[in-house]
Chain A
Amino acid sequence: MMNRNGNTYTFLYAAVMVVLVAAVLASVSIALKPRQKRNYEIEKKQSILASVNIETTAKTAEKIYAEKVVKEYLVNTKGEVIEGDAFNTDLKKERAKAPDKMALPVFECQTDDGIKYVLPVRGTGLWGPIWGFIALNNDMNTIYGATFDHEGETPGLGAEISTPAFQEPFKGKTIFDKSGKLISIIVAKAGQSAPAEHKVDAISGGTITSKGLQKMLFDDFTSYKAFLTKKKL
């Protein structure tokens, strides 16, 4: 056997170890990719349905989605419908583009209360990305439902954005004021004054996540503004 403390042995050992580990991880990753992708898609469908208050399980999501979501399309920041695959559009990539190049997905869902327009939103929390889906009534102003999720916000604090307690108060809020100006939603602490029709309560201990969520909504509604205004008329 070679000298275990020699340079040659050490280098060889490290090289073999790295190649082996890389090979194992790469093959596991490739083998599991299709299943993982399917899980992401199911989760996305569940989130879209949750924003129009339809509860699903991982098993039923695909079937209900096919029934309820009647139209998926992309719009640009001028509010025109453009070509493309709305469901698989990566919002992170779109957000990085110049405003006139962005392609923004819209999902139309058939519910018992008529057609709802579901808009995906994406922004930054404290530790990483946060995202969600906002369902609007056909006045393109009143929120019908909202759902949010996050990658790694602190449990019990910022992570509370994914709980019903935080999401429920969004229902019935409006994003434009009476003069038609875009206000979006203000995520406010107790005592902070804001018009009640645009205000939801922030999370105590989750200030940065709350602020990130407020900014996300404002930025994304701004991108959709032309579409919303056009559709309203």
Chain B
Amino acid sequence: MFGPLFSAGLVLPFSTLPSAQAAPETHITDEAALIPDHGEALRIELLVPEGGRVAQGQPVMRLRDTPGIALVAPMAGQVARIELRPGRQLLQAVLFHDARGDRYRFDTSTAARGPDGLRALLQQSGLWRMFRSRPFGHPPKVAEVAAAIFVMGVDTRPNAAAPAVALAGREADFERGLAALAGFAAGPIFFCEPGKARYGGAVPSQITRLQAGALHPQGAAGLLIHRQFPARIAAPVWDIAAEDVADLGAVLETGYLPPTRLVAIAGDALRETRLVRCQPGADLRGLTQSLVRPGPHDILSGAFLDGRAAHWLAPRDRQVTVLSRAAQPKLRHWFGAALDQAAIAMPIIPTAALEQAMGGAAFPVAAMIRALATRDTEAFTKLGGLSLVEEDVALADYVTGARPRLADQLRAMLNQIAKEEDAA
């Protein structure tokens, strides 16, 4: 009865994003890069040589194993350098901006011819990689059919930009994108929105609307998927940001890929927090340079809960966090240091804080943490762990200061399950 009241989540410090989230300015950085997602091995084939000029949205490379899937230029300019690892694995492809550059137009005539045409368009335009498929949290495979799609119009992470701001003025594109997705999954399409500020426009009738609570992690995709439509290996569930759906709508209408995405810049090393529209893969130094206070700091792509130190904005991220670096710790006594190094990790004690951090009654949290710590894949699967990715446990990581991090344990577990699944 009182469940929603008490199991909401946690109020976090550092939520400093001003309420004036209107009219974010556009900031295209001089450099941007195409990079793989964290831990992802992308074997690629180049379509544009080093030094070649590209239009915004033009395919720069495609995946070697599935040539239909392309990575597109985030802005018009010149391909400055391409760094590959052995096996033609992409490390990064850096581009220089050219303000007078052109925009690339996609052929959208095929998209009208049913789901296969739409699939081809998504894969050519790079929007395919904006989907994330659970279990495992990778972009979907080339012929994968989603059992359900969650369109995330809510983001409860601290300092996140409200997706409603990204959609403001783009309602028509968004609704067109939603309508296109409606027939795309084998099952239902869910549109998740904040319970307090519901989307005002008309959502196609085939779409199920879900209201999420205001406190993190109530708006985490993993929690919503776990509650509504748990992901299974035979029935993958995708999630995508609402802004990307609006991008899809725009491509369908005009053939041009929108050049920017809404990104929130926050953190305790900044003079002010800010919302900007920048290109995907933007240079984070260039983006934050004018805002940072002097002094040592770290730039993370992502929220401070789940972000990673990065040079470029990661493919799916819509948040940049700049944290001041703690002063160098004082020299410690050798005995204490040796003890720390040799010590076995401290276990996590189940508390109310931990339960709230995992969304209250959603999971038997202690059992889930035990399954992670003991690498018990069977119990993990039974408890619904396949719906989760790293960012869903990031809050629990933060709250408990767990070592090793729960996110890393979760990733190891998912990789293990994926490997067993591939072998079978």
Q: Do chains A and B interact in one complex? A: no
